[in-house]
Every structure is written in C-alpha cells, then in structure tokens.
C-alpha cells in the first residue's frame, strides 16, 4: 500500500499542469535580481512559427523571469533555426538576424550570452598580432554597440564562454594534462576579451547599462587538487570580472549538506584566484552558470528526486549569496544514445510545462509580488539579504 501511495505522489508531481490561470500573463516584473534563472540555448523542438530563439525567450519571460541566457556562437544560427548567413564577427551575427535584437529588446534585466569568436581565429593555434587585433576589435565593437544601443535601459549584459575546461581539455578528457602552449594561448584570449570590454566601457559614452565578462570553468575540483585546468592555470592570470561555474561535477550523488559544503569550498577556491576589481555590482564574483538533473519517464520516482535536488541547488545558491544560479534548460536538448529524452527541460517535447517549470514560475510570481509590495510600503527595494531571506521562505513552501 505504501509503495502504491508513493507511486501516486510521483505521478502527480510529473503530471503536466495543462491549465494554469496565470502562467501566460506577462505581469510587469520588478527591476531586481531574482538570482535564479534558466537557459534558452539550442533545443531540438518548437511549437510556433517563430524561431526557437524567440519562442524560448518568450517562454522564459512568460514564466516570470527577467534573466535570459542565449548563445551568440557560430552554431546558434542552426540551433535556433535562423536564416543562414555568412558573418565575420559577433556583431555581424547579431545584426544579421533581427531575432537576436528582438530578444535583447525584451524586458529582461539580465542577459547572458555565450560569445566565442566568428573571426576565424583559433586561439589554440597561437594568437599573433593580426589575430589579436581581430579578436580585440570583435569584442570591442560588440560591447560598444550594446552600450550605445541599450544606453539608459537598466540592462546588464554578461558575456562569457561555454565550459572552458572542455575547450582546454582534448576530447573532453578530464584526466589529460593540457599543454602549456594551450594554457598560455587561452590565457591570452581571455585577456584580450577582458581588455576589449574594459576599453569599450571607458571610451563609449553610456549610463545605466552594464557589461561584464565572465570565464566559465567546469573542472574546479581538478584545480583544487593543484592540477592544470582553467581555474588553477588561467584564472590567476586574467583580471576577469566574474567566474561562472558549470557545476555538474559537484552536485551529483550528494545530499543537501554535502552539496552545500562542496559548492562553498569551490566558490571560495575560485574567488581566491581573482584579483580585486572596483565597481562590480555583486558581493560575490562567482555564480552557477549551469546545473540540472536528469529524469526518466520509465521511472516516475526520478521526477520526485529531480524536483527535490533542483530545489536544493536553488536554496544553496540563495544561502551562499552567489548572484546567479542558472538551471539547464527551458527546452531539452539532452538525449540518451537510444534517443530517449533526459527530461532536463522546463517544457518538454510535447509542449508540457512540468514540475520544474512551476517551481520556477511560482518562485518568480511570489518574489515579484514581495518586491512590489515592499516598494509600495518602503519606497525602495529590500536589501539583497532581506530578499534572500524571503526567497528561502518562498522556496520552502513550493
């Protein structure tokens, strides 16, 4: 009897909320950092005639989030189903298809973008003076464009890379030792990007619009062991604004306290690799750029575990005072070798909004209401500390 009841509970958790009275309402969002977000990158399906970029961005916004994360890499045209064009820089790509600007124009306060390079320069091959000029100008021109176009918009743009250690480690082999040449070349690449962003901010007239550069790592534990990787061998040599941590290595097969302790140690380690930098908007300079858990339709109990572990990461992010934790992902693009969905998405292949969608949705709606009421009473927004305290109370009831 007990197993039967548990199965019913799991099945109910995985039941799609096909009718919700408010998930499509575009209620006005308070211009505040909600901290918890998701990705609108790739995706293998869609349900409208719009591009997957616009469709997913609208889904993120309809869910109640003011945080968007997209790709501006060379593969984004295909992954989003956009018109194929030949481009030579990130700005060329952005201007080549109006869908990019359409989503940047939406009322997202924080926009993250994977930006590598479309100049043809391969940093692993070495970066000579001509290549350095191309990379610098590409980033400088794109950032200058953002500052001018979104001047006085209140938007914050976070520009960074996809999992840096997989860029550094051949064949995704975490056990190999990257060459000194590759480490030096990656370091130079990141330095060029950071300088271009810093210079663009100094020379472009702007106000109330912000651009920052982050480096994403995904093998921090290897770095803590003193081995060659991005966090240990590259970060100390680049005065980067922020560090993004793709956290899968730290969050699997652990209970709440083990996850929190592991993540806390990693965040402290990563921040120890940074040098002081003025005029940054958050107390901490490391955030979770990716996290997520798989589930399977063949095993209903996995959805309960997925829900609980996702919620735990959200709680840990709030407790450890990091500025962002971004869940993977809005539309699924993870499948097994046999073609089965890994069920990591907030909206699945059938267009169904599942338990993780409503975990986020209910959080956003409650916190937006809290901010609105607080502002009406106090004529100012709450401190980050007070916001996080309220957010933890809200999550505990979802």
Is the CATH number of domain 33-397 3.20.20.80? Answer: yes
Residue 119: predicted pLDDT: 97
pTM: 0.94
Q: Which residues of 70-99 are buried (b: 16+ CB within 10 A; e: fewer)?
A: bbbbeebbebbebeeeebebbbbbbebbeb
What is the model's pLDDT at position 25?
Answer: 58
pLDDT at 43: 80
Q: What is the pLDDT of residue 9?
A: 43
3-state DSSP call for residue 216? strand
Q: Identify the pLDDT of residue 13.
A: 52
Domain ranges of the chain: 33-397
**pLDDT mean by block of 10 residues, the chain; 398 residues:** 40 44 67 98 92 96 97 94 93 97 98 97 96 98 98 98 98 97 98 98 98 98 98 98 98 98 98 96 98 95 97 98 98 91 96 97 97 98 98 98
Within 10 A of 180 (CB to CB), how many other CB atoms are there? 10
3-state secondary structure 287-350: EEEEECCCCECCECHHHHHHHHHHHHHHHHHHHCCCCCEEECCCECCCECCCCCECCCCCECCC
| Residue 29 DSSP symbol | P
Q: What is the token pair recorded at 187?
A: 């370091």
Predicted local confidence at residue 12, as pLDDT: 45
pLDDT attached to residue 1: 41
Structure token pair of residue 35 = 């901290």
* pLDDT at residue number 3: 37
**How many whole angstroms separate alpha carbon 265 and alpha carbon 268?**
5
Between CA 340 and CA 355 the distance in angstroms is 19
């Amino acid at each position: 009897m007990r197993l039967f009841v548990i199965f019913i509970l799991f099945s109910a958790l995985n039941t799609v909320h096909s009718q919700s009275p408010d998930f499509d309402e575009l209620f006005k969002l308070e211009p505040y950092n909600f901290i918890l977000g998701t990705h609108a990158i790739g995706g293998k399906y869609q349900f409208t005639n719009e591009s997957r970029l616009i469709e997913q961005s609208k889904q993120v916004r309809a869910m109640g989030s003011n945080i968007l994360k997209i790709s501006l890499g060379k593969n984004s045209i295909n992954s989003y189903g956009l018109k194929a064009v030949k481009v030579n820089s990130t700005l060329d790509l952005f201007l080549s298809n109006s869908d990019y600007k359409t989503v940047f124009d939406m009322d997202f306060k924080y926009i993250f973008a994977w930006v590598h390079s479309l100049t043809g320069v391969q940093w692993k091959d070495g970066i000579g003076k001509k290549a350095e000029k191309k990379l610098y100008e590409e980033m400088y021109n794109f950032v200058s464009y953002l500052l001018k176009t979104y001047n006085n918009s209140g938007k914050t743009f976070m520009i960074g890379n996809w999992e840096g250690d997989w860029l550094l480690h051949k064949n995704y082999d975490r056990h190999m030792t990257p060459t000194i040449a590759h480490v030096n070349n990656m370091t130079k690449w990141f330095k060029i990007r950071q300088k271009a962003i810093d210079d663009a901010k100094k020379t472009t007239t702007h106000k109330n619009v912000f651009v920052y550069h982050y480096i994403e790592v995904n093998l921090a534990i290897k770095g803590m062991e003193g081995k060659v990787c991005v966090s240990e061998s590259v970060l100390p040599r680049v005065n980067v604004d922020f560090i993004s941590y793709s956290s899968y290595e730290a969050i699997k097969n652990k209970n709440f306290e083990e996850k929190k302790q592991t993540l806390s140690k990693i965040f402290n380690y990563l921040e120890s690799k940074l040098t002081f930098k003025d005029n940054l908007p958050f107390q901490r300079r490391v955030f979770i750029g990716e996290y997520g858990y798989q589930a399977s339709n063949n095993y209903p109990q996995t959805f309960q575990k997925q829900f609980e572990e996702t919620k735990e990461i959200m709680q840990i992010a709030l407790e450890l005072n990091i500025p962002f934790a971004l869940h993977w992902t809005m539309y699924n693009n993870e499948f097994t070798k046999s073609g089965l969905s890994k069920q990591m998405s907030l909206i699945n292949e059938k267009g169904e909004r599942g338990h993780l969608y409503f975990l986020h949705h209910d959080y956003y709606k409650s916190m937006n209401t809290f901010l609105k009421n607080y502002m009406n009473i106090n004529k100012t927004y709450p401190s980050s500390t007070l916001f996080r305290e309220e957010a933890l109370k809200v999550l505990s009831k979802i």
